[in-house]
Structure 1
Amino acid sequence: MGLFGFLFGNKANKLKTFQEKGAIILDVRSKAEYDSGAIPGSKHIPLQQIQAKAKEIKQWNKPVITCCASGMRSGSAAAILRSHGVEAMNGGGWQSLYNKL
């Protein structure tokens, strides 16, 4: 395991663990971005609405893997969800995440 893997954990292993728990992919890009291409079966809630919908998302009772275009917005969304008690991880850019799934 490399230094970054040691310090930050292995993202591939975390992704696999989340998948095994039936994680929901949550795309936090704008509607126009989402409509132009997305991971099949993913849910869409733009980042600006995550705070207001956190209670609803928590009721899904599933871990959440957030994604966006590059990983910045999804990182913010994952942090917001975690602050509301949702098991969430940043999946990064949606195309990269799709290739890993």
Structure 2
Amino acid sequence: MKSFLVLGIVIGFLFIFVKKIQSKGDKDMVKQWIKEGAIVIDVRTKSEYAEGHFSGAKNIPVDVLPANLNQLKDKQSKIVVYCRSGARSERARQILQASGYSSVINAGGLSDMPQGN
């Protein structure tokens, strides 16, 4: 009985780990999308954004994203979202996709964004 509990916990952690990996976009794809003119959105707070951000990124904190979708004109545009670790940007990706934006990628954290932009 105890071994089933341990096995269940291990499987649960593996599921969460794999899900997190799957939700983050491929770095080469992120770089390509940005090169092609994708909209880059920093979904961190305004104070986090002020401390440093990816050049050209628009700051729309994830908590106010649903109310600010009017800032994103074309639902067919490629959109790259990032935050500090990838968790808030995954939430933003889900919000955008649920709102009809078809090409959204979670780049993860600021440190995951392409260097030398």
1:12 and 2:30 correspond: no
- State the superposition RMSD in angstroms: 2.7
Could you tell me how far 1:20 is from its partner in structure 2? 4.8
Q: Which residue of 1 aligns with 2:91?
A: 76
Query: d(CA) in 2 for partners of 1:81 and 1:30?
Result: 18
In the alignment, which of 49, 62, 65 is matched to residue 34 of structure 1?
A: 49
Gaps of 5+ in 1: none
1:94 and 2:110 correspond: yes
Distance 1:12 1:95, change over 3 A: closer
CA contact (8 A) 2:31 2:114 kept: no
Query: d(CA) in 1 for partners of 2:116 and 2:91?
Result: 21
Query: d(CA) in 2 for partners of 1:47 and 1:27?
Result: 9
Query: d(CA) in 2 for partners of 1:99 and 1:92?
Result: 14
Percent of matched pairs sharing the same residue = 31
Question: Number of residues paired by the alignment?
Answer: 96
Please give the TM-score of this superposition, normalised by the length of structure 2: 0.68
Could you tell me how far 1:17 is from its partner in structure 2? 4.4
Larger radius of gyration: 2
Gaps of 5+ in 2: 1-17
CA contact (8 A) 1:23 1:62 kept: yes
